[in-house]
Amino acid sequence: MTSRRTRMRLIQRLRDAGINDQRVLDVMADVPRHIFLDEALSHRAYEDTSLPIGYNQTLSQPYIVARMTEILMQHAPSRVLELGTGSGYQTAILARLVDLVFSVERIKPLQDRARERLRQLELRNTLLKHADGGMGWPDKGPFDGIMLTAAPKDIPRELQAQLADGGVIVAPVGEEEQTLVKMVRYGDSFETTEIEAVNFVPLLGGVVR
């Protein structure tokens, strides 16, 4: 079990790195990151680093989770689509900040574990779907915010179509070199802003049972 002091050291590192949204910092202090890891790695849960969760997937670095969440929250979303549930950690962070989180995961065993962890935390405002994330979740849209936790070459048009007017997509984009981008919809046009260099697993198609 990790101490409160260990968690707060991580929060201070995030603050020092430029994370300013107190709501995001408070939620990241409260959500127990160690339960989203296998027991053998749980002692590293509050390091500011990405960690493996199996199936060639990772639990994102806390700074990146905080940064992407902070960017998303600047647009005050109510309904958010997350593509790549993974461990469920980012899902849990979002669920504490918005009304509804719709999360899609292509790897069924990861989704099953994430569902159990979210249940353990009594987060009842999340809906999970086992599907190809690149297609989004059309029948639940439009969404005020869309977050990708894996990197496509470009943001799929299917996802842009599911974004509400004034909504925001936060995503890593690129292949060898990746950039975190923010895309905001204004009617039929989209304004894209590059944020910083990142390193994510690629967004893959298909599903794993």
**Which residues form the catalytic set?**
60
Q: Please give the pLDDT value at position 4.
A: 81
The reported pLDDT for the residue numbered 31 is 96
Strand locations in the chain (E): 51-54, 57-59, 79-83, 100-105, 126-130, 143-148, 163-174, 178-186, 189-198
Q: Is the pTM of this model over 0.85?
A: yes
Indicate the Cα dihedral angle 27, 102, 172, 50, nearest 10°. Answer: 50
Q: What's the token pair of residue 106? A: 């292509």
Q: Between 103 and 204, whose confidence is greater?
A: 103
pLDDT at res. 201: 87
The Cβ of residue 173 has, within 10 Å, a number of other Cβ atoms equal to 22
- Bridge-based pairing of strands 178-186 and 51-54 is unpaired
Distance CA 79, CA 94 (A): 10
- Where do the domains of the chain lie? 4-198
What local confidence, expressed as pLDDT, does residue 80 receive?
Answer: 98
Handedness of CA 69, 74, 79, 84 (dihedral sign): negative
CATH of domain 4-198: 3.40.50.150
Q: Is the pLDDT of residue 1 over 60?
A: no
